[in-house]
Amino acid sequence: MRILIGNHIDPSIRERGDMRAWTQRLLWFARPGDLLVLCCEPDNAFCDYVLAHTGVKRSELTILVAPAGAWGDRLLDPASLTDPAFVKTVRAALDTVGGATGVSEVFALWPSASVSHFAASLGIADRFPGAAFFAQGGGEIGNNKANFRALAAAAGVPILPGRVCRSRAEAVNATRELLASSGSGAVVVKQAHNGAGVGNQLLVRDPQLAVDHVGARHLHHLAPGEDGITAYWDQRWTWASGGGRWPVVIETFAPGADAVYSEHYATDTGTQPTEMGRLFYVGRRLSHQVVPLDRVSDRVRAALLDGGTRLAEAYRAFGYRGHLSADALVLPDQSVVFTEVNAQVSGSLHIYQQIAHRVVDVAATPRRQVVEYHVPPTWAVPDFTAFLTALDETGLAYDPATRTGVIVSMPAIPLAPGAPAQFVFCIAYDPATGYEDTFARLGERFQTLPATAIDASVHVGHAPVSFSS
Amino acid sequence: MRILIGNHIDPSIRERGDMRAWTQRLLWFARPGDLLVLCCEPDNAFCDYVLAHTGVKRSELTILVAPAGAWGDRLLDPASLTDPAFVKTVRAALDTVGGATGVSEVFALWPSASVSHFAASLGIADRFPGAAFFAQGGGEIGNNKANFRALAAAAGVPILPGRVCRSRAEAVNATRELLASSGSGAVVVKQAHNGAGVGNQLLVRDPQLAVDHVGARHLHHLAPGEDGITAYWDQRWTWASGGGRWPVVIETFAPGADAVYSEHYATDTGTQPTEMGRLFYVGRRLSHQVVPLDRVSDRVRAALLDGGTRLAEAYRAFGYRGHLSADALVLPDQSVVFTEVNAQVSGSLHIYQQIAHRVVDVAATPRRQVVEYHVPPTWAVPDFTAFLTALDETGLAYDPATRTGVIVSMPAIPLAPGAPAQFVFCIAYDPATGYEDTFARLGERFQTLPATAIDASVHVGHAPVSFSS
């Protein structure tokens, strides 16, 4: 059996707010015998729903809730994992299945030092791959977009022209130089620690530039000349650097690119590719992703695999162990450039490893694909039950016989009483048919706002939520 | 010919103040034909003095002063290196010796992105080892004491028990746990970016603990219990984390240890050890260092070489190129634990590579050793001339015939009008005789204060100066 930890990036690095729903995707990974640690009581309806798809019985799992720490039950407090009473509870739970020696692996959504300490407190640090590295804060090294650029450059993996800046003055210089040499007259500013484009801001000189499909939640039209650059950084350096905490990445913007990724798994002995996929941004907001990767040439696929493998090996070389995702862009000339590595359990692993390969078995005949959608900000879904009811009424629920249909990936916990639910859901589909019709039929049911009503840079809901890493 | 850059850690990471004197140690590295870039006009007396020892003619060197930037002539502004007018000046200087293609290497005291950009602007990025990595901020990755702990743990190199903390709450927990498990009842707090013990603070429960020899400039006697820990961190978290910019390292304190180091050079094809030495702290202030390393057992020497080599290989694996120094402690039980890596030109390279091996040729018969002393804070040396005069009058100046005597390592620039000069100087000596007598004779001449007059945590002089990395 394994211990699965439903944590998220350490709040001391980036405090994400309410992650109760997103971290419960942990349930997709559960296998009979596993012990799960969550920050909150599991959503029973969602738990039953997931286990009905994976075929695991609730009685075959032990689900423990870590003691409420600084964030209540909204987010797992890393310190709670080594709370003496909690460690005692875990030990007692393990004793019923033969003790800690029976644990084959400690698996965590984020490679926190606290997981190393937790494993050590149980005497099973060796079951958490990379425990010694992560115990000393290695998780942060592998999840920093500035470090990525240096590591990728050293590994000879293609990246876009860009700079890593540690001061406002450096940012002004870098912006000026990159704008001058960029064909698009645009650059992307990236926070070192953020995800799904929420920490990215696109700076454009030309208001007509097509940017709707870009993974940069924020958009800024630069005023002309040096003043426009200086004014931007006067206003945004604090945001971009997290109050001076992190280096800031500035890259030239590549218009008309497709966003793809290659995921890998690193062990003590090597790395192996696990899956590739494609991300779609709509209104500069992460909209959906498709696995396995389709509609690319063999050359693009080979370049993505090659660069992803070299990055995985580079991250392995400095100590990282576990799953990692190498994000890339396919440029209009079909070259592949890499944009970041997320050295953690990504927002894709549950889709391809569990839903696509385990539940749907996409590689079987007839072949299937899986797309995972974020509920668009233009929809209003009252709650989980309403969504399942709609699936039943429309016949869109996942059908094991056809291996097509909708599977909800995470619980729908309203962020405020009466607020619409935000969550993600998968559509398993026949590649010949596509997923657009299914999505459109759900839209007919739930869309209440026109797309133009949404400002991409504003979070929907009452709290800043981004589900992805 | 080579281009040598007299820079220091990028001020955007850590602003060091007036580094005019310390960066002029660059002159020791000069060979005929080299082009040197300094932040200020060279100290002519010191320049002539160095060249008289190395046998290089001033006419064989080109010395350029980078344009004054944000720090005037006190510190090289990284942006100055790519100032168009300066690049033009460098090109013109290179043209007199056959152009940039004749440059065999770009060598910098600190691996700044600005050096990569400078080399690229001359079309010779390939002459700066690791240029692509450093261009993306790689220099910071390799010089962060928190990253060190993770990388060393991953490489299986022995380190002291400790933690990397990203918040005050984590620091409080780590301090409590490490104090509880530490035999000494003491821990060392380390800023991620600092050097020579200036960024270290020793927290002790027992005021009687012997700590004079320790490389931790600051000392704090903890009040009893949890309150003492909390009070400390309420007061010092901002200092330790650089205002939240960096992770903070907390390690158990190892009493009675000796400070040693192993230096290495990393290239595209491998690493090689360059030298080992020993550091001596007096009043918790870096006092002097001896090369080559003596008075250690073969077992200690082998452990230091082995750990240093593994660290050098680990740093090489993620992209670092150039000189690096692995610092370690020899514990009373003769085990060797590593404490940090400085992946830059250290404060030791000029001592062993240039003064010990090039000028003194310590390995020749009869064998010699070299110690480099900081002018103690209890001395008052009026200026460089006064020191040289004293050397002449006492017969303590370096004598090429005996290969013993005093060699001043850096210029003596008073930090304020009338303030005593602070600098470092070497003593080449016969190992059978030692260096103590020479040092004592200089002390008779220059000591004006008793040792007890100096508070270790206070910088001497009017500006915070630490010469070492």
Q: What is the pLDDT of residues A214-229, one digit of tens each?
A: 777 788 899 888 999 9
pLDDT in tens, B212-261: 777 777 888 998 889 999 999 999 999 999 988 899 999 999 989 999 99
Distance CA A310, CA A328 (A): 13
Residue type, A309: T
Q: Tell me the shortest Cα–Cα distance from A197 to chain B, in angstroms.
A: 21
SS3 A325: strand
Distance CA A75, CA A68 (A): 9
Please name the residue that has the structure tokens 């150039």.
Answer: B322
Residues A277, A342 contacting (CB under 8 angstroms): no
Residue B462, chain A, CB below 8 Å: the answer is no
Strand ranges of the sheet holding A248-252, from the earlier edge strand across to the other edge: A162-165, A248-252, A186-191, A200-204, A218-221
Kindly determine whether residue A153 and residue B132, on different chains, have CB atoms separated by under 8 Å. yes
pLDDT over 90 percentage in chain A:
78
pLDDT over 70 percentage in chain A:
96
Residue A343, chain B, CB below 8 Å: the answer is no
Q: What's the pLDDT at A455?
A: 67
Residues A249, A192 contacting (CB under 8 angstroms): yes
ipTM > 0.90 (yes/no): yes
Kindly tell me if the per-residue pLDDT of B465 is higher than 50. no
For the segment A337-362, the average pLDDT, to the nearest whole number, is 97
Tokens (6 digits) for B274: 């360059």
Distance CA B277, CA B291 (A): 5
A96 CB burial (10 A radius; 0-12, 13-18, 19+): exposed
Kindly determine whether residue A165 and residue B12, on different chains, have CB atoms separated by under 8 Å. yes
pLDDT in tens, B343-398: 999 999 999 999 999 999 999 999 999 999 999 988 999 899 999 999 999 999 99
In this prediction, residue A464 has a pLDDT band, given cuts at 50, 70 and 90, of very low
Q: Which residue on chain A is closest to B70 by alpha carbon?
A: A169
At a CB cut-off of 8 Å and minimum separation 6, what does B101 contact? B124
Distance CA A195, CA A469 (A): 5
In this prediction, residue A120 has a pLDDT band, given cuts at 50, 70 and 90, of very high
Q: Which residue has the higher pLDDT, A456 or A430?
A: A430
Residue type, B383: D
Mean pLDDT of chain B: 92
Nearest-CA neighbor of B74 among B408, B461, B366, B413?
A: B413
Query: What separation in angstroms does the CA of B431 have from each of A49, A400, A437, B370, B436?
Result: 78, 83, 86, 9, 11
Residue B193, chain A, CB below 8 Å: the answer is no
B35-B39-B45-B49 Cα dihedral, nearest 10 degrees: -50
Residue A247, chain B, CB below 8 Å: the answer is yes
In this prediction, residue A425 has a pLDDT band, given cuts at 50, 70 and 90, of very high
Residues B246, A140 contacting (CB under 8 angstroms): no
Kindly tell me if the per-residue pLDDT of B464 is higher than 60. no
pTM: 0.94
Residues of B in contact with A10 (CB under 8 A): 166
B333 CB burial (10 A radius; 0-12, 13-18, 19+): exposed
For the segment A409-428, the average pLDDT, to the nearest whole number, is 87
Q: What's the pLDDT at B421?
A: 84
Distance CA A141, CA B150 (A): 9
At a CB cut-off of 8 Å and minimum separation 6, what does A118 contact? A5, A81, A82, A87, A106
Residue A77, chain B, CB below 8 Å: the answer is no
Tokens (6 digits) for A241: 């650097």
Question: Strands B35-38 and B2-5: what pairing?
Answer: parallel
Q: What's the pLDDT at A175?
A: 96
- Number of neighbouring beta carbons within 10 Å of residue B354: 22
Interface A–B counts its CB contacts (< 8 A) at: 132
Q: Which residue on chain A is closest to B79 by alpha carbon?
A: A170
Tokens (6 digits) for B93: 């200087």
Residues A261, A276 contacting (CB under 8 angstroms): yes
Q: What's the pLDDT at A463?
A: 36
pLDDT in tens, B144-166: 999 999 999 999 999 999 999 99
In this prediction, residue A208 has a pLDDT band, given cuts at 50, 70 and 90, of confident
Kindly determine whether residue A153 and residue B319, on different chains, have CB atoms separated by under 8 Å. yes
Tokens (6 digits) for A97: 């299945």
Q: Tell me the shortest Cα–Cα distance from B317 to chain A, in angstroms.
A: 6
Kindly tell me if the per-residue pLDDT of B136 is higher than 70. yes
C-alpha angle A34-A38-A42 in degrees, rounded to nearest 5: 90
Q: What's the pLDDT at A214?
A: 73
For the segment A232-252, the average pLDDT, to the nearest whole number, is 94
Kindly tell me if the per-residue pLDDT of B454 is higher than 80. no
Q: What's the pLDDT at B214?
A: 73
Query: What separation in angstroms does the CA of A381 have from each of A437, A443, B365?
Result: 19, 10, 86
Q: Which helix (H) or strand (E) holds A439?
A: helix A436-446
Residue B238, chain A, CB below 8 Å: the answer is no
For the segment A295-317, the average pLDDT, to the nearest whole number, is 98
Closest Cβ–Cβ partner in A133, A153, A173 for B136 = A153
Residue type, B229: I
Nearest-CA neighbor of B339 among B198, B145, B178, B202?
A: B145
Q: Which helix (H) or strand (E) holds B308?
A: helix B298-318
Kindly tell me if the per-residue pLDDT of B268 is higher than 70. yes
Across B389-450, where does the E strand assignment appear?
405-408, 424-429
For the segment A440-468, the average pLDDT, to the nearest whole number, is 68
For the segment B317-322, the average pLDDT, to the nearest whole number, is 97
Kindly determine whether residue B154 and residue A130, on different chains, have CB atoms separated by under 8 Å. yes
Distance CA B65, CA B74 (A): 11
Query: What separation in angstroms does the CA of B80 have from each of B21, B66, B199, B220?
Result: 19, 6, 28, 40
- Among A116, A181, A318, the residue to mutate for chain B (most B Cβ within 10 A): A318
Distance CA A30, CA B96 (A): 70
Which range is least confidently modeled, A188-192, A244-248, A340-344, B450-454?
B450-454
Q: Which residue on chain B is closest to A168 by alpha carbon?
A: B12
Q: What's the pLDDT at B456?
A: 61
Residue type, B466: S
In this prediction, residue B460 has a pLDDT band, given cuts at 50, 70 and 90, of very low
Kindly tell me if the per-residue pLDDT of B463 is higher than 50. no
Kindly tell me if the per-residue pLDDT of A442 is higher than 60. yes
Q: What's the pLDDT at A218?
A: 83
